[in-house]
Structures are given as C-alpha cells and as structure tokens.
C-alpha cells in the first residue's frame, strides 16, 4: 500500500484511541499523522509508535495536505469540519450518524459492500456499531436464503456512550459494593446502570422507538441494498464495559438448517462461529473485547415459522463496531 497523510478527529476519545491502536497493529501506511480534538484537549501530548504527538484543535485548515480524515468525534464536529476536509482534498471516513442515511454518501462495511466506496464524493460513512456486527453475520445468509424479517434485541455496553459512561458504571459499582447510594449523573445515563439495565439508547421518537433502534432498521436496509427486509429492534444498555450483544430472530424465504447456517458462517470473513451447547460454548462480551471478529452462536431453528433461525451475535463495539471498520475502509481506499 502507498503511504498517505492521515488525520484522526476525536483522537482523545475511546474510538479515536482505538483507531490509533489498530493503525499500529495493522501497520497502516501513513506518512504524516495529525491528531485532532476539541479546543479543550488541544495541547495534550500523547505517544504513538515511539513518537510524541501534540493534540491540535480541529480547524478547517487542519486538513491541508491530508489524504484521509478519520472522524471519531460527535455529530457536531462532522457537520462543521467534514466538508472543510473534503474541500481540501481529503476523503472523510465518518463514524458519526451525520451522513449515514444521505443517499449520496456510501455506508460501508468492507466484508459486506466494499464496492460502494467507488461512488463516494469525498465522504464515506461508518455504520452504527450495532448495525455493523449484525450485517457482517446476516449478509451471507441473505445471499443464500433471502431474509424477509428481522426481530432484534440488543444488549449494548456502556462504552457505546463513551468514556464518561464507562467511568459511571465503574463508580456506581464501587458505591453499591461499599454500601453507598450510587450517584446518578443524568447527563450521562438517565438511570443507575450498575446491576441494572436501561431499555433506552438515544432519544425517543414520536412513534415510541428510539433513534438507535431506527438506525438499525434504516442502516441495515441501506447496507444490504434491500428495502423489502422488515426490521424491528429494541435496544438496551447493559452494565458491560465493552462489546455489544444481539439476539436476532430471522425469517427467510428459503429454509436453512442449523448445519447449513454454521457452514456458511464458518466460511465468512470477519465471522467466528462459537456454538457448542454441550460444552457451554457461545459468544461472550468478555471474550469478544479486544478482538476483531463478529462472534455468532446459539444458532437454532425458529420452529414457529417455516424458515426461521435464532442467532446470538457478539462483537467489540469499539473495534469492529467503530475503529476497525473505519481503518478497513481506509485500506480499501488505498488499494483502489
């Protein structure tokens, strides 16, 4: 691969740090590297690959001479700075929800729809973390048996809300174990998360669904290029630090046996089948944390419909659900 100049926006956040880790692990061929963040973080120093970098405040001219800009920041930063980066010749790979449903912006998971990067106009969107792990597992099944309907329940870790939510879970756990009443900072999570679950992720919409649930609905259809798939989801925050879990019920046009599904998925790039009930082997968030694959197990037929399967999908939301997927897109750009 040829070398390119890279900027990481949101370099001090949990996803930004994960991007840097993966860039190093995969030996991504960068030349110049700029680490950008908000004004609050500007001036901080960080070490990366035996070199010290100073965090710079993100400004329009930060993207001069940058080839690829990896945005791991909030929607506000993407709305302000993505177009500025494109104006200066950079290709933006954006991890926020800002551009995902824009029909002129490809929404890419490299194992699923790598061909879509060919029509980008300067911006490529990284899907929602819970959507990425879902479609990596579902696409090969859809190709064989055509999925008609999906019913999804997610069990999402607090790292999906960022470093402050992780700290909140840790502090509340310590408080409860010490016999104290846990502090709840509603600007981070609306209720106690330690030893509990919160059946809300993101804001509620008028129809009672949350934005997170509708992201899964709409993004799945866009990535799979099939608006006929019926998708419904319930997204829940659970007291886990890293890795999202999903219970997925699939109804298909063609019947797939458990054996056939396992055979297809065992040959799918980015997927690892962990499914042996006799040995109590199934995907766990603690095992998936820090690893690249999307793990799938508890594969079994849904006997209430003619052509149905149930799956349990687990993946590290900071890696494949965000940072790794973005770096893989950047690798595709360089190859092409």
Residues annotated as part of the active site: 129, 244
Q: Which two tokens stand for residue 28?
A: 């991504």
CA 213 to each of CA 151, 182, 245: distance values in angstroms, whole numbers, following the listed order = 11, 28, 14
Instruction: Using CB atoms within 10 Å of the CB of residue 125, give its burial: 0 to 12 exposed, 13 to 18 middle, 19+ buried.
Output: buried
Instruction: Name the DSSP class of 250.
Output: E
Strands 68-71 and 230-237: unpaired
CB-based contact 73:96 (threshold 8 Å): yes
Beta bridge partners of 69: 7, 92
Q: Which two tokens stand for residue 248?
A: 């997925």
- In the block, which residue shows the tokens 């800009």? 69
Find, among 106, 79, 63, the residue nearest to 219 by Cα: 106
* Helix 129-145 vs helix 258-266: crossing angle, to nearest 10: 120
Instruction: Name the DSSP class of 182.
Output: P
Q: Give the integer Cα–Cα distance in Å for 325 and 205.
A: 28
Q: Give the integer Cα–Cα distance in Å for 209 and 114.
A: 30
Q: Give the integer Cα–Cα distance in Å for 158 and 304.
A: 34
Q: Give the integer Cα–Cα distance in Å for 94 and 79.
A: 10
Q: Give the integer Cα–Cα distance in Å for 259 and 119.
A: 37
Q: Which two tokens stand for residue 268?
A: 């799918």
């Amino acid at each position: 691969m040829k070398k390119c100049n890279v900027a990481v926006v949101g370099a001090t956040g949990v996803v930004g740090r994960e991007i840097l880790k993966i860039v190093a692990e995969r030996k991504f061929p960068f030349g110049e590297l700029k680490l950008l963040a908000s004004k609050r973080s500007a001036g901080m120093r960080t070490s990366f690959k035996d070199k010290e970098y100073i965090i710079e405040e993100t400004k329009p001219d930060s993207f001069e001479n940058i080839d690829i800009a990896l945005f791991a920041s909030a929607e506000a930063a993407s709305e302000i700075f993505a177009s500025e980066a494109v104006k200066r010749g950079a290709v933006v790979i954006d991890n926020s929800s800002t551009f995902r449903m824009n029909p002129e912006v490809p929404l890419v998971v490299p194992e699923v729809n790598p061909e879509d990067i060919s029509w980008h106009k300067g911006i490529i969107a990284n899907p929602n973390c819970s959507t990425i792990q879902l479609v990596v597992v579902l696409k090969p099944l859809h190709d064989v048996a055509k999925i008609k309907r999906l019913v999804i329940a997610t069990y999402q870790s607090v790292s999906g809300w960022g470093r402050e939510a992780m700290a909140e879970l840790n502090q509340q756990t310590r408080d409860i174990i010490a016999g104290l009443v846990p502090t709840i900072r509603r600007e981070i999570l609306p209720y106690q998360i330690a030893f509990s679950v919160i059946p809300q992720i993101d804001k509620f919409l008028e129809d009672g669904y949350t934005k997170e649930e509708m992201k899964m609905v709409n993004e799945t259809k866009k990535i799979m290029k099939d608006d006929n798939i019926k998708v419904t989801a319930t997204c829940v925050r659970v007291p886990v630090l890293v890795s999202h879990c999903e219970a997925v019920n699939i109804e298909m046009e063609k019947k797939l046996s458990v054996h056939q599904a396992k055979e297809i998925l065992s040959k799918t790039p980015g997927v690892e089948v962990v499914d042996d009930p006799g040995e109590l082997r199934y995907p766990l968030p603690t095992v998936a944390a820090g690893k690249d694959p999307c793990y799938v197990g508890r594969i079994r037929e849904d006997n209430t419909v003619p052509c149905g399967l149930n799956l349990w999908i687990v993946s590290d939301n900071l890696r494949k659900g965000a940072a790794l997927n973005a770096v893989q897109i950047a690798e595709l750009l360089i190859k092409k």
